[in-house]
């Protein structure tokens, strides 16, 4: 069983937007993982093979308990029965209590599409009459949160990652083909500019203001979150 499982349309989506949260929970003794929906093969820089390698390096930095790639097809995955069943199978396999997914809207159309796909799969995963490839028992995560990516979205929840920010950046930089490299001859992208990490720091500091801390990550919720004890906020 994995306590907190992050789904990502592309390798590095989770690192950029929720790695600090995964690190924080791992250091508290919880099991963490990332499921990449695609290999990012349509990305301007790097290749599917280099991104596979980079994802595994990042997984080691994050000390993940599991990382898998469903290879659903970058740019072409869809809300089809085939792709829903593939995600349902993973949810039932790892039985996460908390599920993290892509932003509900963003610059890249894959992100919002992945958000809807994963959220629907999480619901269907709890239905007894839906069978997955391995005929596993139904499971529905208790909580689904959507991390915030390129486009600003007002967060419902912010997680303090101040102690883990350096490790988060290290995990992001594992995807070395995707970010600034003065020796690279590949085309520039919105995330390969030399000032991109300054932007990332600014975003983390902006979320940190909500938490009255240095750095944080923001999330939106799809429904009200049930709690039985307010003492956490005291």
Neighbouring residues of 33: CB distance < 8 A, sequence distance ≥ 6? 2, 4, 5, 6, 64, 65, 66, 67, 68, 94, 96
Q: Among candidates 77, 6, 39, which has minimal Cα distance to 177?
A: 39
Q: Name the residue with tokens 């072409």.
A: 76
pLDDT (0 to 100) of residue 225:
86
Contact between 136 and 93 under an 8 Å Cβ cutoff? The reply is yes
CA atoms within 13 A on the CB side of 20: 26
Specify the number of domains making up the chain.
1
166 token code pair: 């350096």
Q: Confidence class of residue 231 from pLDDT cuts 50, 70 and 90? A: confident
pLDDT (0 to 100) of residue 222:
87
219 token code pair: 């999330």
Domain that holds residue 73: 4-233
Q: What are phi and psi for residue 67, nearest 5 degrees? A: -145, 125
Residue 196, number of CB atoms within 10 A of its CB: 17
pLDDT (0 to 100) of residue 33:
98
Q: In Å, what is the CA distance from 154 to each residue of 123, 157, 191?
A: 25, 9, 22
Q: What is the average pLDDT across 51-66?
A: 98
Contact between 158 and 211 under an 8 Å Cβ cutoff? The reply is yes
Tell me how far apart the alpha carbons of residues 148 and 112 are, in angstroms, rounded to a whole number: 11
pLDDT (0 to 100) of residue 230:
79
Quick: pLDDT tens for 178-217.
999 988 889 999 999 999 999 999 999 999 999 999 999 9
Quick: pLDDT tens for 68-112.
999 999 999 999 999 999 999 999 999 999 999 999 999 999 999
32 token code pair: 């963490």
3-state SS class at 158: strand
Task: Say which CATH number the domain at 214 has.
Answer: 3.40.50.10320
Quick: pLDDT tens for 119-171.
999 999 999 999 999 999 999 999 999 999 999 999 999 999 999 999 999 99
pLDDT at 233 over 80: no
Angle between helices 109-124 and 81-94 (to 10 degrees): 60
Give the whole-number percent of the chain exceeding pLDDT 70: 100
Q: What are phi and psi for residue 143, nearest 5 degrees? A: -135, 140
């Amino acid at each position: 069983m994995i306590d907190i499982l992050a789904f990502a349309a592309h390798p590095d989506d989770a690192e950029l937007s929720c790695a600090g949260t995964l690190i924080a929970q791992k250091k508290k003794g919880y099991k963490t993982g990332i499921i990449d929906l695609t290999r990012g093969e349509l990305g301007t820089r790097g290749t599917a093979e280099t991104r596979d390698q980079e994802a595994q390096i990042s997984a080691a930095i994050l000390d993940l308990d599991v990382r898998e790639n469903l290879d659903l097809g970058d740019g072409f995955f869809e809300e089809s029965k085939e792709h829903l069943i593939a995600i349902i199978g993973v949810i039932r396999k790892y039985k996460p209590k908390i599920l993290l997914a892509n932003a509900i809207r963003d610059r890249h159309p894959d992100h919002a599409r992945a958000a809807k796909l994963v959220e629907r799969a999480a619901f269907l995963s709890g239905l007894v009459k839906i069978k997955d490839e391995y005929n596993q028992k139904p499971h529905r995560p208790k909580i689904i949160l959507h991390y915030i990516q390129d486009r600003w979205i007002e967060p419902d929840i912010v997680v303090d990652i101040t102690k883990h920010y350096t490790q988060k950046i290290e995990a992001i930089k594992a995807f070395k083909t995707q970010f600034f490299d003065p020796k690279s001859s590949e085309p520039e992208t919105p995330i390969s500019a030399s000032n991109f990490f300054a932007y990332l720091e600014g975003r983390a500091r902006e979320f940190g203001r909500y938490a009255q801390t240095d750095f944080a990550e923001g999330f939106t919720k799809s429904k009200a979150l049930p709690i039985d004890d307010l003492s956490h906020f005291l």
